[in-house]
Structure 1
């Protein structure tokens, strides 16, 4: 089938052809150039109209090109023309030759246009180079790296994965990766992965992965979605990080922590016993000894609640929070006489001890002189957090009327300075109202825990 090409001098046709982003030209049966578009003129500017279009090719390529031209045009139908040379950056390697309408004198003409072979080869070459760069990068990483299709089908693992698992390459593609997990972790990992695929949320989970030695090691699995310009997920890229040594160390530390905590609690008990035994020999000191024993018991309770916990130990004592510690400290008093309200915040061993000391002191004084010394008295503790700041209000009502502000700095004042101002870098103010004491404590939220808190 001939291509109906108008006269090459037609300006409309030339304008259309010049806008084509590929080389195109017209030649006669003998290979003489009749016309070339703008791309042709810019790339092959040394060949003039009437010359052989192969004139700018190297001699070894020119002869092969003319031989192929003669064979193809003699056959009289469209044919591909391949030229192996580096004439331009575009590597003139692939062309499609199509019969065109004869010229006004009836002589055959042929329309030639660059095919996509060269561009495709460049694209393939760039893709191969990019893949090689990615393979080098992922294989240099200490983590196991994997990737999936949008539906979660695993189709890539780096060398670290195969080195860690000892599995043959390709054997864990698709859904076979789940068989590498410890049987007790498989369903949990699947559920979490399906959730990420369904919602597009980041994937993160700890599980045990079978090592090439046959043992299972703890790893941290993470994955993030890769999205296109329209927000659609096109890939998932994930990593597996071997955390087994850290996990084992954490377990060992937990055992040591529990043993140390047990010994500390025994020390608290021994000290309390020594105090009470000494008080029996000095009856005049009994009141002081009882107060001191209670303070030591409060320290023991706070320590047990707020010491560092693991997943094993935490459920046995509950979460250590400000409200939890306050309720524990007030538990010896009648439930109807106190309440804790407001915003709860996390607490660990850094904040629990000073908080336990100051509020035990407040409760002790309230039981001696304030709201807890009468059956109708009330103590309300209200907590609020505004951004990074935590405010705690201790309010007493219904107790004996306060006739005047104490004019001496007693033990409670010194304890507050030590606990709140020095240890927690906070502030404490007292308002000695006639109807009851009001204490305001303000501390930074991150002062109550060892690790900075994520914003909520």
Structure 2
């Protein structure tokens, strides 16, 4: 037993983390050398429940609540809190602990660690500030481009229709960028930002048919970042715009059904219109928006895009490898 304790203490002191242990009831009776080196306190001064006094006052109630919950349930203890350093400053720390159990499941001890994550959290905060500033500048670029388009259209009234279409495309790209950029807990949208369904919902949100329930979406959701978001945003924006002008969404009863699936690491996306004006066949010429959609999916993402001009509504089928949707 003495030899086993000596081995544990040697191992714990060799680790770069602060290591501690408690009795089954949570009474702290051991800390390794790194704990005393970090805190600068006298050995034994944090035994029992005195450890909580080492936390930032604002973090103490939360730490106690989480620790009591783990003691009662036997679940993993994991929490971030500010721990007082020997310098007197508080540094962010990740605390973790697991119970040691007998073969019959009885808890005989808790073994925990504290890891200094202060520098990493400060770096993450700096990255968030940089990301927000970069995003703000990119949004300004979108706004400037849209403004230049509008200004040019005013000088040439005949181009106003094209200008409005182009401005709508720019706005869709702007929404896609804002959706998939890195977010903090405060700035994140309500829907998951790394979500295909989330980006589709974001692009379609300006269309009244979305709120009316005439655009539905189901199937498997997949991860997507800025690499896949831009071409998908252009495709869905063009399909929705055309549906409002000429297709199923041009009449009050028309509908659009979007389905997604995954087979062998390939995303399949189906856009099915119904209830709109009857279709005689494919158009005699391909518009710029259709060419832009094909350019985005086929050339930018290396996928396939097929249009089927069925009499009861347009059917668009897209296939893209999942690895093409993320960096």
What's the TM-score once normalised by structure 2's chain length?
0.87
**Displacement, 1:265?**
0.9
**Displacement, 1:299?**
1.0
2:38 aligned to 144, 164, 167, which one? 164
**Quick check: 1:374 aligned with 2:251?**
yes
**CA deviation string 1:289-327 (max 9, x = no partner):** 211110110111122222101123226x66424344323
Alpha-carbon separation, structure 2, partners of 1:220 and 1:234: 23
SS of aligned partner of 2:253: coil
SS of aligned partner of 2:158: helix
**CA deviation string 1:405-452 (max 9, x = no partner):** 3576654555445544565565544332211112234556676556xx
**Displacement, 1:264?**
0.9
**Quick check: 1:266 aligned with 2:140?**
yes
Alpha-carbon separation, structure 1, partners of 2:76 and 2:305: 43
2:307 aligned to 430, 435, 440, which one? 430
Q: Which residue of 1 aligns with 2:218?
A: 342
For the 8 Å contact 1:342–1:384, the answer to whether it is kept is: no
**Quick check: 1:355 aligned with 2:215?**
no
Q: How many residues align?
A: 323
Q: Which residue of 2 aligns with 1:252?
A: 126
CA separation of 1:379/1:173 partners in 2, compared to 1, >3 Å: closer, same or farther? same
Counterparts of 1:192-211 in structure 2, within 5 Å, are 192-211=66-85
**CA deviation string 1:249-301 (max 9, x = no partner):** 11011111111111111111110010011112222322222111101101111
CA separation of 1:182/1:384 partners in 2, compared to 1, >3 Å: closer, same or farther? farther
**Displacement, 1:387?**
9.8
**Quick check: 1:275 aligned with 2:149?**
yes
SS of aligned partner of 1:183: coil
Alpha-carbon separation, structure 2, partners of 1:419 and 1:188: 49
For the 8 Å contact 1:279–1:289, the answer to whether it is kept is: yes
**Displacement, 1:248?**
0.4
CA separation of 1:443/1:237 partners in 2, compared to 1, >3 Å: closer, same or farther? farther
**Displacement, 1:242?**
0.7
CA separation of 1:374/1:222 partners in 2, compared to 1, >3 Å: closer, same or farther? same
For the 8 Å contact 2:238–2:293, the answer to whether it is kept is: no
For the 8 Å contact 2:238–2:290, the answer to whether it is kept is: no
For the 8 Å contact 1:301–1:328, the answer to whether it is kept is: yes
Q: Which residue of 1 aligns with 2:104?
A: 230
Alpha-carbon separation, structure 1, partners of 2:85 and 2:184: 25
Which structure has the larger Rg over C-alpha atoms?
1
SS of aligned partner of 2:68: helix
Note the aligned Cα RMSD (angstroms): 2.7
For the 8 Å contact 2:179–2:202, the answer to whether it is kept is: no
**CA deviation string 1:337-372 (max 9, x = no partner):** 632333555554344323222211211221232112
**Quick check: 1:395 aligned with 2:272?**
yes
**Quick check: 1:440 aligned with 2:299?**
no
Report which stretch shifted further, 417-426 or 373-382. Answer: 417-426
Larger RCO: 1 or 2 (CA < 8 Å, sep 6+) = 2
Alpha-carbon separation, structure 2, partners of 1:356 and 1:141: 49
For the 8 Å contact 2:270–2:318, the answer to whether it is kept is: yes
**Quick check: 1:295 aligned with 2:169?**
yes
Report which stretch shifted further, 439-448 or 331-340. Answer: 439-448
**Displacement, 1:128?**
2.8
Counterparts of 1:299-318 in structure 2, within 5 Å, are 299-314=173-188
For the 8 Å contact 1:393–1:440, the answer to whether it is kept is: yes
| Structure 2: tracts of 5 or more residues without a match | none
1:148 aligned to 12, 17, 22, which one? 22
**CA deviation string 1:44-87 (max 9, x = no partner):** xxxxxxxxxxxxxxxxxxxxxxxxxxxxxxxxxxxxxxxxxxxx
Alpha-carbon separation, structure 2, partners of 1:235 and 1:171: 20
Report which stretch shifted further, 246-255 or 349-358. Answer: 349-358
CA separation of 1:308/1:431 partners in 2, compared to 1, >3 Å: closer, same or farther? same
